[in-house]
Chains A and B, each alone.
Chain A
């Protein structure tokens, strides 16, 4: 049996979707067409925030959020070291310095370590809802309020995740989402979105994403070109109609793995689960012994797995100038050596999940 990590073709081989894309040709408004606003309204409602904006990518969502908050040269932004490099990259692009804190057993920022990372130049906390599991936002918001810091949520992997029914992206000053083709809610190319409660931040980012233009002829501030393509907005809006089902399928797949693999501890360990925290399983990441051998056993049997990510941000070459070394973030480093992402996407069948689970059981029981 073949179990691919992703099956985008299954998702995009959809006549209804391409019919909607074709409608764009009746007006040919490829830039900032009314479909972008339609997506924004739908996305704001999904995230339970008053405002949402479509932008060019999840990376740009983070960058524009920091810019809109006036964060730049000389400022510190606190984040997790185990995210995709774009999180750190966006902080650096804004001109600020990324300051890492180690993560906990849920793969998210350890809230107990945040306070000691705060310095006079700290301007924001940028938690990442990695794997689609919400970071501990109530605790992070408490710290931010107490220390007068902005909070920008990196929800790139976590659309629809929630804590006690409050969606991620609605806690901080700005929530940043990716609609990259590999994401739960995806476009057919690069796209991203932002959410905010603040009209002021909304207005600012709206201007920044479109060259700082106030109108066609007048420019208020230097800005960027980071618009969501109309066509991608159509694709994403189509996805909004399916996101509930996508999330439900991924949660069900995760439950099947959980049940099937529970007895394999300590060879295989699940991330911590928390009461009221409702993940969306962008990735299904477990910690395993003998990772390389397990992965090759699965691969030999047609199962594609990934590692998100084998090298933490602080050990990547461009972070050398931040003065980090191996050992600085022991939990994250230890995780990076043992984590593996199993196929979890919404189009998998029960049989495929059982097949993967059986192979894993066979691997550990047979040794």
Chain B
């Protein structure tokens, strides 16, 4: 049996239906920032319960533009998690600010207590990451933010529809950035991203920044960027968002099955503790495993496409060399990096594939 990591072919097997919708948009000649984009923005905002959604070119840009809208730049510090995909820190660095890394908890998200300690007089924003589809501890983080008067930008790129106490991630902070990259739970046919906010002023600023700072065709309010969500990608997003609930629920179903079965292997495998007040959307289903590298090879040998997200934490990457961190600075993330493994858990898997993965892992340790 084969268990593939990617599910794009199944996800878009109805591409003819979508292409037909695209051909309607093509007739209008409206290929950037057209009505297709505003329609998708409205659906996206409604899904997450926010006032505005702003379509941009990528999840990276969603974070970058959010920070720019808050006026963050050279000389400023932005606090984030050390185990995230590089784009989070890259977006901070792109503004000219300095990324300040913080270690994570046993569920792979930023540790609020350590975040508090990382605040300095240069800190201008907190950027928690809802890593792997796990909501960060936003209740504590928002309390810290209020106490210190700091804005919060949520990296929700991997966590569409994840919740804490029933509230969608991305809607706690001043903005939430989402990725619609083809590998994400809600995905399109290329790079795209979305920002949600309830703040009228930030909404206006973001709309201007994503389109060269233009007020209208001929007048420019501020220097901006080119970071638009293509109309054709908006058509894909609008189509797929109808399936969003099914995608989330199926991923949760498979993850719960894996959780239950793998918990029996407690000597060899650690399933992160699940909190009852969080909805985990399992963009990545990550466990910690003994003899990880051997297990990875064994699974691949058995046609199970497992992966590692990610083997090297950000502070040990060459790009961070100038920030002055060293091995040992973030012991939890470093230990996790050596033990984590990501199993396929997407919505297009069948129950027998999940069973096969469980058996294979059991046979490896058995």
Known: A217-B312, A224-B90. 17 other contacts (CB 8 A): A28-B8, A30-B188, A31-B182, A59-B226, A85-B213, A89-B223, A95-B96, A189-B31, A211-B87, A217-B308, A218-B317, A220-B318, A224-B94, A225-B87, A231-B190, A316-B220, A317-B219
Asked whether, in the complex, the Cβ of B191 is within 8 Å of the Cβ of A222, the reply is no
Closest Cβ neighbor of B192 among chain A residues: A229
User: Given the complex, which residues of A lie within 8 Å of B74, measured CB to CB?
Assistant: 73, 95
The answer, among A12, A73, A221, for a CB contact under 8 Å with B318, is A221
Top 6 A-B pairs, shortest CB-CB distance: A229-B190, A189-B230, A28-B8, A59-B226, A225-B60, A222-B93
Give the Cβ gap from A75 to chain B, nearest Cβ, in Å: 14
Given contacts A8-B31, A225-B61, contact A190 B228 (CB under 8 A): yes
Is A311 in contact with chain B by the CB < 8 A criterion?
yes
Is there contact, CB below 8 Å, between A232 and B220?
no
Identify which of A18-26, A109-117, A285-293 touches chain B. Answer: A18-26
A227 touches B23 (CB 8 A): no
Residues from chain A with a CB closer than 8 A to the CB of B28 are: 9
Q: Check if A57 is an interface residue, CB within 8 A of chain B.
A: yes
Chain B's closest residue to A67 (CB) is B94
Q: Tell me which residues across on chain A come within 8 A of B220, comparing CB atoms.
A: 85, 311, 316-318
A354 to B228, CA, bound (A): 38
Report A154-189 residues with CB < 8 Å from chain B CB: 180-181, 188-189
- In this assembly, does B15 line the interface, its C-beta being within 8 Å of a C-beta of chain A? yes
With both beta carbons as reference points, the residue of chain A lying nearest to B99 in the complex is identified as A222
Most chain A Cβ neighbours within 10 Å, of B87, B221, B226: B226
- Chain A, interface SS category: loop
A24 to B231, CA, bound (A): 18
Q: Please tell me if the beta carbons of A59 and B212 are within 8 angstroms of each other in the complex.
A: yes
CB-CB < 8 A to B263: which residues of A? none
CA of A217 to CA of B327 in the docked complex: distance in angstroms?
17
Are the CB atoms of A219 and B319 closer together than 8 Å? yes
User: For the side of the interface on A, what is the size category?
Assistant: 35 or more
A219 and B317 contacting across the interface, CB-CB below 8 Å: yes
Q: Does B5 contact A (CB under 8 A)?
A: no
Please tell me if B267 contacts chain A, counting CB pairs below 8 Å.
no
Given A56-B226, A190-B57, are A31 and B319 neighbors across the interface (CB < 8 Å)?
Answer: no
Q: Which residues of B contact A12 (CB under 8 A)?
A: 26
**Residue A196 is within 8 A (CB to CB) of chain B in the complex:** no
With A25-B12, A219-B319 in contact, is A229–B191 under 8 Å at CB? yes
Question: Is B218 part of the contact surface with A, judged by Cβ < 8 Å?
Answer: yes
> How many angstroms from the CA of A57 to the CA of B86 in the assembled complex?
22
Q: List 25 A-B contacts (CB under 8 A).
A: A6-B29, A7-B29, A9-B27, A9-B28, A18-B19, A25-B9, A57-B226, A58-B226, A85-B212, A85-B213, A86-B212, A89-B224, A95-B74, A189-B31, A190-B57, A211-B90, A219-B317, A220-B318, A220-B319, A224-B90, A225-B58, A227-B191, A232-B190, A311-B219, A318-B220
